[in-house]
Structure 1
Amino acid sequence: MTDVGSVERDRLEAGLRTMELTVRHRLDGLLQGNHTGLLPGPGSEPGEARPYQAGDDVRRMDWAVTARTTAPHVRETIADRELETWVVVDLSPSLDFGTAERDKRELVLAGLTAVAHLTTGGGNRIGAVVATGERTERLPARGGLAHARGLVRRVAATPRATGEGAVRGEVLTDAMDQLRRPPRRRGLVTVISDFLGEPVWERSLRALRARHELLAIEVVDPRELELPDVGTVVLADPETGRQREVETTPLLRREFAAAASAHRDRVSAALRRCGAAHLTLRTDRDWVADIVRFAVARKQSPTPGGR
């Protein structure tokens, strides 16, 4: 008799190996360096002072050197090459949904795999806070490729939540607050979620912005954006289990699409106010290509982290 559990574990291992190879082969040549390739920008450590030039940020004026030399000087900053990355992983029941090539939970795992491999190396460390709605688990930040692979596997093996006790929005807020108390070393915080519900997490994310660069990875399924013309269907809320039978009339489909578009606009606006870079991954698109395009755009952007 076949051991179903072992079959699922074998499928998981094979899938993770495929994602690791895909990310490394497709992205290593494009993103040179460690974190400066993904979210480029000035560092946080003080460097040398130099004469002020037109266009320099006046907030970096070095008044001590300016007073000593009687000429305006600014203080350069250098990047800390040992990056600490924390990933907030949303695995609440709404992520167990998908109508295209994969479900959203697989896409969350894909985003985590990409971030882990793009930030591994050179003494960098990565950790995760995994929220299912029923419990929140913190995986400590450590360095090394073996740790990064183990972290992805532990997240992938997280049991699916039943939906009981999950409060939409508060799941992300609680997970983000775990990175604020106690304050973590300055670094990169990545939040991977579908961001459904009202953005009650905005205040917590904005508080993280005071110490960290922010990257928000939003996972989307096309059926969350528009309904097909399929007649009468039963829709279920995975968070609460509530069901409702509806008829997909043209009016309902237009109102659904308008509401979905308005919700995504609210999420995008909230992320912009928090200063987070925003990457969208869809279950019906090539997630590797989307990450490549995003990373290249970040390298070419004159402003870091969506600022």
Structure 2
Amino acid sequence: MSSIAGPPPSLKSDSTEVVLRKLEMTVKQKLDGLLFGNHIGLVPGPGSEAGESRLYHAGDDVRRMDWFVTARTTTPHIRETIADRELETWIVADLSASLDFGTADCEKRDLAVAAAAAFVYLTQHGGNRIGAIITTGEDTIRVPAVAGKAHGDWLIRKFIETPRAREGNRGDLGAALEELRRPQRRRGLLVVISDFLGASTWPRPLRGLQERHDIVGVEIVDPRELALPNIGLVTLRDPETGATLEVQTASSDTRERYAQEAQQQRAQIATALRRAGAGHLRLRTDRDWLLDVMRYVSNRRRGAAGGVLR
């Protein structure tokens, strides 16, 4: 499919209000068909109250299998769920220094903020409450869950205006997720936005949240994190520690090893999200981010299981 939206607005080039209005116009215009209509549960998934049974279709969540009806009819059936009328959404956004990087259409931070805005607009209607925990590795910003468009706009401004972390501060996504475990929140939707790089402290607390929340993991990726170009000797720098390393990209062996390690790392991230029962949405700085969001939400609304959308 052709592009439906350009890159997200630049946090470096535009003011807060300009970024907010650009996101509102782009997201709401394109997601209009997904924002309204029959309220069929947590936006990327089902509700929690049991409803009627229907025939099983490929891609349905087998955890909702209705074994009594299946045994009686000898045909697989699943139990539909009735939507929760008021949804509490929590967005955990990792805006650590590793997000201050981008070699394609935008920085990863721009994409992370745009993804957060998309889920705010998707879930703020119908009296739903939205809260957030924003971590930079240096600071943690907590925003309580409140309903209303004004709160949604204010929350997006917080994402936009979050200061960039200073060098030497590693992000700790695991600690941010622990904020939601104690005290326990009511059942709802949890959206985790991160590149999932650095210390792997996040899988365990994320698994601990799956019993009470539908989880969506939004992975932010830049193409240079997956493969190196052949451009000779380059100096690579870790934005979170300041450590540097010279790499000879003219070496085909070096490029192949880099690509293999990157592929293995991404596979580990996907496995950890799957084990936590999370849906997996991958957004890239060189792709149409809004089209990927629309495809993901449409697939989940049709009852497809989690899995990764590349």
TM class, shorter-length: 0.7 to 0.9
Distance verdict in 2 for CA 1:111–1:60, change over 3 Å: farther
Preserved contact between residue 133 and residue 163 of structure 1 (Cα < 8 Å): no
1:94-133 aligned at under 5 Å gives the runs: 94-133=98-137
TM-score (norm 1): 0.84
Q: Distance in 2 between matches of 1:25 and 1:254?
A: 42
Aligned residue number for residue 184 of structure 1: 185
Preserved contact between residue 35 and residue 83 of structure 1 (Cα < 8 Å): no
Preserved contact between residue 103 and residue 283 of structure 1 (Cα < 8 Å): yes
Q: For residue 212 of structure 1, report the CA deviation from its aligned partner.
A: 0.3
Distance verdict in 2 for CA 1:278–1:35, change over 3 Å: farther
Aligned residue number for residue 267 of structure 1: 269
Preserved contact between residue 43 and residue 297 of structure 2 (Cα < 8 Å): yes
1:129-278 aligned at under 5 Å gives the runs: 129-166=133-170, 171-197=172-198, 199-248=200-249, 249-278=251-280
Q: For residue 36 of structure 1, report the CA deviation from its aligned partner.
A: 2.8
Opposite residue 146 of structure 1, the aligned amino acid is A
Opposite residue 121 of structure 1, the aligned amino acid is H
Preserved contact between residue 41 and residue 82 of structure 2 (Cα < 8 Å): no
Preserved contact between residue 221 and residue 285 of structure 2 (Cα < 8 Å): yes
Q: For residue 46 of structure 1, report the CA deviation from its aligned partner.
A: 6.0
Distance verdict in 2 for CA 1:54–1:139, change over 3 Å: closer
* Residue in structure 1 matching 2:31, options 22, 27, 30: 27
- Secondary structure of the structure 2 residue equivalent to 1:278: strand
- Secondary structure of the structure 2 residue equivalent to 1:175: helix
Preserved contact between residue 88 and residue 189 of structure 2 (Cα < 8 Å): yes
1:50-97 deviation line (CA, Å, top 9, x unaligned): 7x8997745899xxxxxxxxxxxx997532110000000001100000
Aligned residue number for residue 41 of structure 2: 36
Q: For residue 13 of structure 1, report the CA deviation from its aligned partner.
A: 1.7
* Residue in structure 2 matching 1:299, options 298, 301, 310: 301
Aligned residue number for residue 73 of structure 2: none
TM-score (norm 2): 0.83
Opposite residue 264 of structure 2, the aligned amino acid is A
Aligned residue number for residue 13 of structure 1: 17
Opposite residue 36 of structure 1, the aligned amino acid is G
1:66-77 aligned at under 5 Å gives the runs: 77=81
Aligned residue number for residue 7 of structure 2: none
Q: Give me the CA root mean square deviation.
A: 2.6
- Secondary structure of the structure 1 residue equivalent to 2:292: helix
Q: Distance in 2 between matches of 1:60 and 1:153?
A: 49
Preserved contact between residue 186 and residue 211 of structure 1 (Cα < 8 Å): yes
1:5-64 deviation line (CA, Å, top 9, x unaligned): xx97953321221111111111121354457373232x32467xx7x8997745899xxx
1:214-250 deviation line (CA, Å, top 9, x unaligned): 0000000011001111101110001110011111111
Preserved contact between residue 42 and residue 87 of structure 2 (Cα < 8 Å): no
Q: For residue 155 of structure 1, report the CA deviation from its aligned partner.
A: 1.6
Preserved contact between residue 90 and residue 132 of structure 1 (Cα < 8 Å): yes
Opposite residue 134 of structure 2, the aligned amino acid is V
Q: Distance in 2 between matches of 1:33 and 1:109?
A: 27
What are the ranges of 5 or more consecutive residues in structure 1 without an aligned counterpart? Answer: 1-6, 62-73
Q: Distance in 2 between matches of 1:187 and 1:208?
A: 10
1:113-160 deviation line (CA, Å, top 9, x unaligned): 000000011110101000000111111111111110110101210111
Q: Distance in 1 between matches of 2:269 and 2:29?
A: 32
Preserved contact between residue 23 and residue 114 of structure 2 (Cα < 8 Å): yes
Q: Quick one: percent identity of the two aligned structures?
A: 49
Q: Distance in 1 between matches of 2:195 and 2:54?
A: 43
Distance verdict in 2 for CA 1:37–1:230, change over 3 Å: same
How many pairs align? Answer: 281
1:270-302 deviation line (CA, Å, top 9, x unaligned): 111111000011111111111111111112234
